[in-house]
Each structure stands twice: as structure tokens, then as C-alpha cells.
Amino acid sequence: MDFAIAETGFCLCWIAGWLDILMVLTLCALLLAGYPVALTLAGTALIFAVLGLTFGVFDISFLKPFPQRIFGSVTNTTLIAVPMFVLMGVILEKSKIAEELLDAMAKLFGSLRGGLGISVTVVGALLAASTGIVGATVVTMGLLSLPTMLRRGYDPAFASGSIAAAGTLGQIIPPSIVLILLGDVISNAFQKAQLEQGVFAPETVSVGDLFAGALFPGLMLVGMYLAWQILVAITRPNMAPAIPAAEMGSRRQVWIDALKVLPPPLILIIAVLGSILAGIATPTEAASVGAIGALLIAGARLAPKGSWLAGAPAIYVTTVALFGLFILNGLFDLRLGRESVSSVESIAIIAAFLLFALTPWGVVASLFQLRREATLNPILEQTARVTTMVFTILIGAALFSLVFRGLGGDDTVERALAATPGGVVGAVVTVMLVMFILGFFLDFIEITLVVVPLVGPPLLAMGLDPIWLGVMMAINLQTSFLTPPFGFALFYLRGVAPPEIATAQIYRGAIPFIFIQLAALGILAYFPEIATWLPGVLYK
């Protein structure tokens, strides 16, 4: 009898010591079973908090910061950029601007061998820089480009791989929702790592730092994609034939059409990303500018030319007023309440007031046009859905991390990484491999908000650069999204691909781009300056 009691006590102690690992395994099992992510995170945390209290290995005080965590998440000025960038991307998608970009670029490059593939990659990069939403980009290009490429004689695997790979560029090219979330999480992890090392005046990492760090790696990936497509077009022209020049129309008309379509989104991208990198605006401020800019572009595209009150002229007037405000702000000190204001500054302030009074005109006109075209409600609905998903997962992840730390999970992760063969290199490779595998089953939001806070502090405590680590994680997740048989981008494309395209062809087409992604990871690991040089020049 005593032996049985002792054995039972030993089993209970053993279980209590492994609760943190059992918690992670339970979470993975429930997610694979198809339960909602946010509810699974919170539910698993509560169950294991109760188990921890039962076994006496969990202190209830770990849950006291949870209300503050929720309040901090929803009032975080950095995370407010998420709904703004989502709104910007959804407006550009729903207003058919992406369709016009694809059509213009296809005409521009279509007469070259491999030209349609090149146009897909270029438009994918532009959409990545203006939307940052992988699913929307893959679906849009799959619906518009894939049938055209097949009709023009493109190899189905090559066409599918080009579209899926271009769609995943939204993970790495700023401004990206992935980079916004990663930037916030990496910043917190970096500060925690420094505090644990006794640094009580810790350095900070901002989302702008991560945007700057991801710019060159993202452009490097675009260049590697284009190099592969050009190589295929040269060595195997039957896989990527050119469109006969006679079918493309005159080159003059092609360039005219391109110049009508390309400048607005390019100006928007430069305004948003340039203002962040130049330090003129925070990511949140730039995101709001991007949302307004996308609204004006969509309104101008949809508006009839004849109406001044609610048509294109009103939108153009607002656009000019915004540019005027930007120029005045750069040339003059427009602050009010100063003791001495020169006459020139007074005139500039009055002009700024007048220009500001004109800005609501075009915004209201654009909203009217979107409502007239029955696209305003879908835009708002999709933006609300994505934003709600992100913040609900954020709240569930906060509860999960508090309970996991209360059960000693931080120490377990730190010991596991310290015991990894190969030191720092082995720890980084292990974490990247785990995140890569998790990317088969989880979206980037769950991985960013659950995994990165656990592994980030131990890795950064080893002396790794936070910007380099964040960019490596972003490219790693991008690679995972492209890898058969579970890659999310492949599933998105399979859902819109014509029935004559076999799933195996989509998988086969993605394989060369996966090797390109892995090569990019290797290059970035060997030359971390690709990610760290620009932030150092801009901000330090």
C-alpha cells in the first residue's frame, strides 16, 4: 500500500515537472484537430493553470498582469498600424487596382520570353509593398494571371510556382503585417534579454528598424526570383514562351497604359515606406497615410469624370492639398502658440489651414464612390475580420505565455537552447527548423505571437542582432508558406487554380523557389550586413 502511494506520488511529481512541455504538446494537438487558434491558446492556458495550481507548481500571481496585457495590446500605438495597413491592402484589392497592374505589366513584358512570369514577380513585389497580405495576393494573381499564362503555353508547374512565390513576398517586403508584429515582439524580447543580463538602460528596436532591415533582403529575393525566371526562359523557352508582338499592340500604347496605372501605387509605396525609413513618420502614422492614399486612388479610379462634388476632380484636389501640406511642413515651422512668428510663417500657417480644409472633400468623395460600386461594405467587413483575428490571437497568446512562464517554461526553453550542439549556430538552426515545421500548420500570426516571445530572449541573450534575427525569421516563415505539402500559399493557389492543373504540378513548380529561399537564408546568415547595414545608416 505504501509502495503504491509512493509510486503515485512519484508519477504526480513527474507530471508536475513536465507541465510546461505537456502544455505545448496539448496546444499543438488541439490546433491540428482544427480548433480555433485564439480560443485554443486561452483554453489550454487556463486548463494548465488549474493543473499547475492543483500540483502546487504554479503561482496565481502570474495571471495578475493579464488585464494590463490586454489593455496594453489594444492601446499599443505600434499595433494600431495593423488595421491601417490591412485597410490599405483591402482597398487596393477590392477596387481592382491589382488587376490593372497585372494587365499593364503583362503587356509591358509579355513580348519577351518569360515576360509573363517576370510581370507576375514584379506585380507581386508591388502588391507586397502595398498590401502585405499573402492570401489576397496569391488569390488575386492566381485568378488573373494563371489562366493567361496557361493559354499562352506556359508550363503549368513553372506558372504555378511563379505565382505562389511572388505571393509570399508580402511576408518580407515592408510594409508587412508580419514585420509589424515581429517588430513589436522582437523589441520586447530584446529588452527582456538585456534586463536579464543586468542592463537597466536597454537599447530598443522599432518596427522601422525591422522595415529597414528587411528592405534589401526582400529586394534580393525579388532579384533571385527574376534571375531564375530569366534562366528558365533562356534555357527552356518552351516553358515560358513570348507573346507574339502583333498581339500586344503598339509599344507606344503599351507604355501609355503602363504610365497610367503604375504611378499611383508607386507613389503610395514611396510615400508610406519612405516616410518610415526617413524618420518623418512612425509606422502607425505612415499606415494611416497609406490607407487614405489607397482610398483616394480607388476613388479616382471609380469616379465619373463629370462630377466636381463627388467625382475625380474632388479627389485630385485633395491629393494636391495633401502634397501641399507635406511641402509646407518641410519648408516652414507650422507650430502654433510660439512667441514669435514671422510674416512668411504666418502666411504658411494660413495656407496650411486652407489646404487641410480641402482634404476631407476627396476622402468623402472616395467613400461615396466605393459605396456606389458596392465595395465599401466588403472592404470594411474584411478589414474588421482580419483585425479582430489578429488582436484576439494576441490576447490568447498573452495568456498562454503568462501561464507557460509560470510553469517554468522560460527556463526549459533556455536550457534546451543552451544544450543544443553547436552553440549559438546550433540554437539558431534548431529554432529556425522548429518555426519552419510549425509554419506548415500555423499561420504567421500564431507563430510570431506564441513562439517568438519564448525563443527570442534566450537567442538575443547569446549576442545575436535583433534586426538580423527578425529578418531571418520572416524569410524562414515565408519559405515555410511555400513548402509542400502544407504550404499556405500553395493551398491558396490550389483553391483558385483551374481544375486541369494537378496539385503535384503546383508542388513541383514551388520547389525551385524553395531552394532560392533557402539560398537567401544562407546568404543572409553569412552576410548579416545585408539586413543590418541600412538600419545602422538610417538610425544609428
Taking the C-alpha atoms of residue 459 and residue 465, their distance in angstroms, rounded to an integer, is: 9
Mind giving me the DSSP string for 103-121?
A: HHHHHHHTTSTTHHHHHHH
Nearest to 509 by CA among 178, 217, 149: 149
Chain-wide mean pLDDT for the chain? 79
- What percent of the chain lies above the pLDDT cut of 90? 4
469, 424 Cβ separation under 8 angstroms: no
Which pLDDT band, with edges at 50, 70 and 90, does 123 fall under?
confident
CA distances from 149 to 97, 116, 231, 446 (A): 20, 7, 18, 34
pLDDT value, residue 246: 64
Residue 7 pLDDT: 46
| Grid cell in block for residue 176 | 508587412
pLDDT for the residue 217: 92
Looking at residue 10, what is its pLDDT? 44
Please say whether the dihedral angle defined by the alpha carbons of residues 506, 511, 512 and 514, taken in this order, is positive or negative. Answer: positive
- What does the pLDDT read at residue 509? 86
Burial (CB < 10 A; 0-12, 13-18, 19+), residue 71, is exposed
Calculate the dihedral angle through the C-alpha atoms of 464, 468, 474, 476, rounding to the nearest 10 degrees: -70
pLDDT of residue 12: 47
Say which residues have a Cβ less than 8 Å from residue 67's Cβ, sequence separation at least 6. none
Confidence class of residue 465 from pLDDT cuts 50, 70 and 90?
Answer: confident
Give the Cβ contact number of residue 288 at 10 Å.
Answer: 20
Helix axes 156-167 and 503-526, enclosed angle (nearest 10) = 50
pLDDT band at 248 (very low <50, low <70, confident <90, very high): low
Orientation of helix 156-167 relative to helix 115-130, angle to 10°:
20
Of residues 72 and 179, more confidence is placed in 179
* Percent of the residues in the chain that have a pLDDT greater than 70, as a whole number: 89
How far is Cα 495 from Cα 247, in angstroms, rounded to an integer?
30
Is residue 136 predicted with pLDDT exceeding 70? no
Q: Is 62 exposed, middle or buried (0-12, 13-18, 19+ CB in 10 A)?
A: middle
Burial class of residue 66 (count of CB atoms within 10 Å of its CB; 0-12, 13-18, 19+): middle
Mean pLDDT of 49-66: 81
Query: Band of the pLDDT at 245, cuts 50, 70, 90?
Result: low
pLDDT higher than threshold 80 for residue 464: yes
Q: Let me know: does 440 contact 483? Beta carbons within 8 Å.
A: yes
Task: Render pLDDT for 162-186 as a digit per residue (tens, 0 to 9).
Answer: 888 888 887 788 877 778 888 888 8
Q: What is the pLDDT of residue 16?
A: 56
More confident residue, 126 or 50: 50
Question: In this predicted structure, what is the pLDDT of residue 448?
Answer: 80
Mean pLDDT of 143-169: 83
Q: What is the pLDDT of residues 353-403, one digit of tens each?
A: 888 888 887 788 888 888 888 888 888 888 888 788 778 877 888 888 888
Residue that wins the pLDDT comparison between 7 and 294: 294
Per-residue pLDDT at 211 exceeds 80: yes
Q: Is the pLDDT of residue 141 over 80?
A: no
pLDDT of res. 424: 82
- How confident is the model at residue 524, as a pLDDT? 92
Mean pLDDT of 182-211: 79
Q: What is the pLDDT of residue 5?
A: 45
Residue 31 grid cell: 490546433
When comparing pLDDT for 299 and 32, which is higher? Answer: 299
The pLDDT score that the predictor gives to residue 88 is 82
Q: Are the beta carbons of 220 and 523 closer than 8 angstroms?
A: yes
Q: 310 or 202: whose pLDDT is higher? A: 202
Q: What is the pLDDT of residues 414-429, one digit of tens each?
A: 777 777 777 788 888 8
pLDDT for the residue numbered 2: 46
Closest CA to 396 of 429, 441, 358, 443: 443
- Listed ranges 408-412, 450-454, 465-469; the one with the highest mean pLDDT: 465-469
Least confident of 35-44, 210-219, 416-425: 416-425
The answer to whether 69 touches 402, Cβ cutoff 8 Å, is yes
Distance in angstroms (rounded) separating the CA atoms of residues 438 and 415: 21
Helices (H), 407-465: 409-418, 423-438, 444-446, 452-461
Q: Does residue 84 have a pLDDT over 70?
A: yes
Give the model's confidence band at 1: pLDDT under 50 very low, under 70 low, under 90 confident, else very high: very low
Q: What is the pLDDT of residue 225?
A: 92
- Mean pLDDT to the nearest integer, 140-167: 82
Choose between 427 and 245: higher pLDDT.
427
CB burial string 90-126: b at 16+ within 10 A, e below: bbbbbbbbbbbbbbbbbbbbbbbbbbbbbbbbbbbbb
Q: Are 187 and 204 contacting, i.e. CB atoms less than 8 angstroms apart?
A: yes
pLDDT of residue 305: 60
pLDDT for 519: 92
